[in-house]
Amino acid sequence: MNKLSYVLIMVSVLFLISCEHKELYYDHSYTSDVRVVFDWKNVPEASPETMRLYLFPLDGGKALLYEFNNGHGGDISIPAGHYKALCVNSDTESVLYRNIDAFDTFEAYAPDGILNVKSFFVPRAEGTADERIAKSPDCLYSASLDDVTIEFSKENQVVTFFPKLSVCRYRVEIKNVSNLKYVSSDGISGSLSGMSGGLLVGRNKLTTDLVTVPFEVVSVGGSVLTADFLTFGQVNSGQFPHKLVIYAIMFDGSKNYYIFDVSRQVHEAANPYDVHIILDGLSLPKPLVNGSGFHPSVDEWQNIEVNIPM
């Protein structure tokens, strides 16, 4: 009986130790109900369909991800602890993410694009050959917080984010374009060099890789060309040049591209998030008739540098 009693006592002690260890193991993962709010006072016109929240534990643990099927927020359960946090709208297609395991390296970037007109690959402006061709990104909103504390068992905890626009709008207007009626269908497009390829969302800082962004060009009123597209913006304002190129294929098959150095207008824009580039004068060639004159081959592009009056 003494031996049996001893065995029972030892089993009971081991059981209690086991229970105590299990309880301690789960101490760090106690969760609390938290209301997440996305306040759009900085961009009241924004209406994203979905939002995504990332929490990065300050102790270096694995990042936590939460998805909201609306743009306003909602109630979620979060393990108690201290975090850095960032949010982005997740209803985008032309925005990709990488290095998302850490707050400081979390990057939004534009996917690779194609620089062509009517399936013809086009030349690059001098000095831009090393730049990646990147699509124009979708409208991206983001916000970040350096210190979020979630307390266990505390009621009515609220974490509020104030998203801002994280991409820049570029508008181009070229006035007094001659012979625009002779451009072939879908035979005109453009590109802008010297743009940033992405954004470090947590740090709200542009990446330093340079990209060239292709964009669509629209004819208005027979003598005006316009374009409206998004970019992540320019790297280190004033440091890198910006070449705007217009590509045109005429009815007779001739191909021409026109290079404008728009660095000054980009660098000196009153609002870097809404850059308006205005150019005056672009002479497109009048097509040849009756087979007279010189016909360039279909693979030959004619380059014209256009000086901009200061």
Query: Which residue would you say has higher pLDDT here, 61 or 291?
Result: 61
Is 179 within a domain?
A: yes
Which tens digits make up the pLDDT trace of 189-198?
Answer: 999 999 999 9
Give domain status of residue 6, yes or no. Answer: no
Residue 168 near residue 233, CB atoms below 8 Å:
yes
Angle, vertex CA 277, rays to CA 273 and CA 278, nearest 5: 150
Residue 10 lies in a domain: no
Has residue 105 been placed in a domain?
yes
pLDDT in tens, 70-99: 999 999 999 999 999 999 999 999 999 999
In the block, tokens 């009815």 appear at 251
**272 - beta bridge partners?**
none
First to last CA, the chain: 106
The percentage of the chain sitting over the pLDDT mark of 90, rounded to a whole number, equals 76
* Residue 267's pLDDT band (cuts 50, 70, 90): very high
For residue 125, give the 3-state DSSP assignment.
Answer: coil
Domain presence at residue 9: no
To the nearest whole percent, how much of the chain has pLDDT over 70?
A: 85
pLDDT-derived band of residue 297, with 50, 70 and 90 as boundaries? Answer: low
User: 167 lies in a domain?
Assistant: yes
> Which structural domain, as residue segments, surrounds residue 286?
30-306
pLDDT surpasses 80 at 9: no
Q: What is the pTM of this model?
A: 0.85
Long-range pairs of 47-50 with CB within 8 A, sequence gap ≥ 24: 47/71, 48/89, 48/90, 48/91, 48/141, 49/89, 49/91, 50/89, 50/90, 50/91
Per-residue pLDDT reduced to its tens digit, 222-255: 999 999 999 999 987 678 899 999 999 999 999 9
User: Which pLDDT belongs to residue 1?
Assistant: 45
Q: State the average pLDDT for the chain.
A: 88
Structure tokens at 58: 């300050």
Q: Let me know if residue 16 belongs to a domain.
A: no
User: Is 197 inside a domain boundary?
Assistant: yes
Tokens of 22: 């299990």
How many distinct structural domains can be found in the chain?
A: 1
**Half-sphere exposure of residue 15: CA atoms within 13 angstroms, side-chain side:** 6
Order of strands across the sheet that contains 31-38: 73-79, 31-38, 157-161
Give the per-residue pLDDT at 287. 78
